[in-house]
Chains A and B, each alone.
Chain A
Amino acid sequence: MKAPMTKIVHYINQFFAGIGGEDAAGSPPVRVEGAIGPGRRLQQLLGDDLHIVATVHCGDDYASGSADAVQEILALVRQDDPDLVIAGPAFTSGRYGLACARVAAAATEHGLTSLAAMHEDNPGVDEGGAATIVRSGVAAREMGSSLETLAAAAAIVAGGEPLTNEQGRLGRPRRQVVRADRPAAARAVDLVLARLGGDLEATEVPLPRFEQVTPAAAVEDLAQTVLALVTEGALVPEGNPDRLESARATRWLRYSLDGIDSLAPDQYGSIHGGFSTVWANEDPHRIVPLDVARELEAEGAIGRLHGEYLVTAGNGTSVANARRFGVEWAADLRRSEVRAAILTST
């Protein structure tokens, strides 16, 4: 008897759906019948038993800019009641990778088998939750080989088998807390003696790898550019009305600068838990330099100051959250036509 066909919904971004580039990055999610873009070649590689019944595409800014977007996408994905959700490949594109990982993670939470494809340095690798993430190339020029890896992985996970690292699975194993027999001090001395004895591999903490961030190109014409002020210095309106965490922040906030020329010490203050806030609170411009920014705006040195500042507290924040804030800020600012930002760090 022939095995029943596996129904697949494929998620891709606006670029690979042929909608447009950065100009269309804000486009909302849309469902279309069958395979489109890279999905066509993927379908050929998948063969007859695995069938892409629909494609959902969405702009990268829209998809990575809020948690609601992922739920919207998931609602479209679930219309076809798929057996497998495939997202990507996203290569090293940060917003696209994040969207793929989150769609896969959300689908997995809803009991759908899902698979996202991206390069190992994509920040999305950390956001896949319980979904499987498979390796892709660095950029679209490696589309062919990336789709071959993805198709092979799809056949494996569609069959209910776990994907192994050798088969291209990405993502570090979850760190779980256990109680050791001996205290850390004793284990540390053991480790010193092992290393002195020539064991250079021994460690309890595998060395994490961090991607190198390439600085953006210089802004060409600042006088025509919308500039934003963003900070991890936890400067919030007096009384911290939205309860930003002073440490281990899980979110970021935005506050309007419309019609405001300066930040009065009795109206703004830093609630950051990681540095002495005395001088910040004496003059909040030490964290968010609105005064100078307004001067530059008046002189015409910058095109315009963005109408709000974005803020979080960078204190004991997990790298995964910090990276997510960065991607969300970039998407949010792009949507508002901001093309340059000053990030003040404390």
Chain B
Amino acid sequence: MAEARPTEGLQERPAAGLTRVVHQVEAVDFGERTVYEGGRLTVSPAEAAQILSSPALGEVSVSWASPGSPVRIVKVLDAVEPRTKGPGGGGIFPGFVGPAQPQGRGRTHVLRGAAVVAAGYLPRAQEAVIDMSGPAAALSPLGSTHNLVVEFVPGEGAKWEDVDEAVRRGTLALAARLAEAALDAPLDAVEELPTGPSATAGLPRVGVVTNLQTQGTFKDVFVYGRSFAQALPTLLDPGDLDDGAVVSGQFGHPGLKNPTFMHQNHPVVAELRRRHGKDLDFAGVVISPEPVDADNKQLISVHAARVCAAAGFDAALVTKEGGGNADADVALKMDELEALGIVAVGLFAEMAGTDGTGPSVVVPPSRATAMVSTGNYDDQLVLPAVDRALGGTTVNLVDLPATEELRLPTAVVYCSLSPLGWGHLRCEAAV
């Protein structure tokens, strides 16, 4: 009698790993149908409005804001890169567009150079600005993408929580739909993402701990569609970041926030992948909530360090989201990691005051001392006047018309101090 093989009867699993199929967006337009052809993305406003429609929303409109144009987007909420895994999304944005199931395998089509950007008033949202031209454009990752800006008015009698939810679902669905237009289009690049240990022996295992700011409605982050506020730190398949398993509903500290777009393109993950098998072995991604009280910050930090230890990390980069309160989450984790013998490096935006003379970090680590600077939160910028503003007519912080010349702290420019390490800003000691 033949012995049954242990794997008999198991379904064939798709190969591990994710392939990004990249379609570059060079030009954009509106038209009767949503089409991607020869690098041009044409969007049907009627279809977009239909995708966004919800009982919680009144009128919804879409506008293009393209790089180099004299346009300012204010009251920026989330930004999403158009991606899909197949017709109807094929599982992209699990928990919102696709079912709440892990993704990160197979093929994902990416419309690179484009974004869907929601902009408008929500309670607790802090004023956030993207300039498409002028000196601030280079400070935001969304200053160089063709942005389909979604503006909305709340539905009559709708609760703000429901407005927030409807904008989020609509934005994600619209992003998936735009990418679907490229499913059969010629591709510009194929990116095979590494998976598993590299073939090179003896490299240090380096991972990343990414803190997600989870402080209740309008300041929350979703993983597989669920609020991450009550969760414990966990390993997440890096491919799941690409496929939109982490969705931002966090509208505080615009310079220090990580919109969905940045999780999809996580710069530290990209760098670890790039150097995988050369300088290091990419050991994994741990995501962690940022609780609001000290006891839970401590618990979550110890727990995150133990997850890293269990995953065999030799070193970890620690990223944050939010203002000074969130410095504590990075500092505690760095210290707990080093206490377990895991080398820790934190990314910190400095809060050194407008003249750069204040102490840089609100809560510094005590054991771990290696920190990278992502600029000064308080550094003042002058944004020249623009022709057109989207997202609102005034800029809250300074109470000025949104099209005027503005003096604003760097903190107000969307992702300018990216805690995920996107930017080039840095502080150094003046001589």
Contacts and interface: CB of A to CB of B under 8 A. Distances in A.
Report whether chain A binds chain B: yes
B377 A316 contact: yes
B356 A174 contact: yes
Contacts of A5: none
Contacts of B365: 207
A184 B418 contact: yes
B323 A247 contact: yes
A320 B351 CA distance: 10
B359 A320 contact: yes
B315 A195 contact: yes
Interface stretch (A19-27, A61-69, A146-154, A271-279): A271-279
Interface of A: 126, 129, 171-189, 191-196, 200-210, 245-248, 273-277, 315-321
B373 A188 contact: no
16 contacts: A126-B357, A177-B427, A179-B424, A179-B425, A185-B267, A185-B270, A189-B206, A189-B280, A193-B279, A195-B315, A196-B343, A201-B369, A206-B360, A210-B364, A320-B353, A320-B359
Nearest to A208: B359
Interface of B: 124, 126, 204, 206, 215-219, 252-253, 267-268, 270-272, 275, 279-280, 292, 314-317, 323-325, 343, 345, 347-348, 350-353, 355-362, 364-365, 369-379, 397, 409-411, 418, 420-431
B364 A207 contact: yes
A300 B369 CA distance: 51
B232 to A, nearest CB: 22
B241 to A, nearest CB: 14
Contacts of A247: 126, 253, 323, 411
A176 B280 CA distance: 32
Contact of A188 (B217, B379, B421): B421
Given A180-B425, A316-B324, 7 more contacts: A126-B357, A184-B425, A185-B422, A201-B369, A203-B370, A204-B371, A276-B218
Interface centre among B275, B292, B372, B422 (most CB of A within 10 A): B372
Contacts of A182: 424
B113 to A, nearest CB: 18
A204 B350 CA distance: 11
A79 B124 CA distance: 51
A178 B426 contact: yes
Contacts of B343: 192, 195-196
A248 B427 contact: no
Interface centre among B356, B377, B379, B409 (most CB of A within 10 A): B356
B55 to A, nearest CB: 22
Contacts of B270: 185
Contact of A204 (B323, B353, B426): B426
B238 to A, nearest CB: 14
Contacts of A183: 267, 421-424
B252 A274 contact: yes
Nearest to B368: A195
A184 B430 contact: no
Contacts of B215: 275-276
B292 A275 contact: yes
Contacts of B316: 192
Contacts of A274: 252, 323, 325
A189 B364 contact: no
B425 A177 contact: yes
B375 A177 contact: yes
Contacts of A319: 351, 358-359, 362
Contacts of B124: 273, 276-277
Contacts of B355: 129, 174
Contacts of B204: 193, 196
Contact of B360 (A129, A202, A205, A316): A205
B429 A174 contact: yes
Contact of B426 (A184, A193, A245, A277): A184
A221 B104 CA distance: 65
Contacts of A192: 206, 280, 315-317, 343, 345, 370
Given A180-B426, A189-B271, A189-B280, A203 B371 contact: yes
B318 to A, nearest CB: 9
B345 A175 contact: no
Contacts of B359: 126, 172, 208-210, 319-320
A118 to B, nearest CB: 15
A180 B424 contact: yes
B268 A276 contact: no
A96 B359 CA distance: 21
A177 B411 CA distance: 13
B302 to A, nearest CB: 21
A189 B371 contact: no
Contacts of B126: 246-247, 273
Interface centre among A182, A192, A204, A273 (most CB of B within 10 A): A192
A210 B428 CA distance: 20
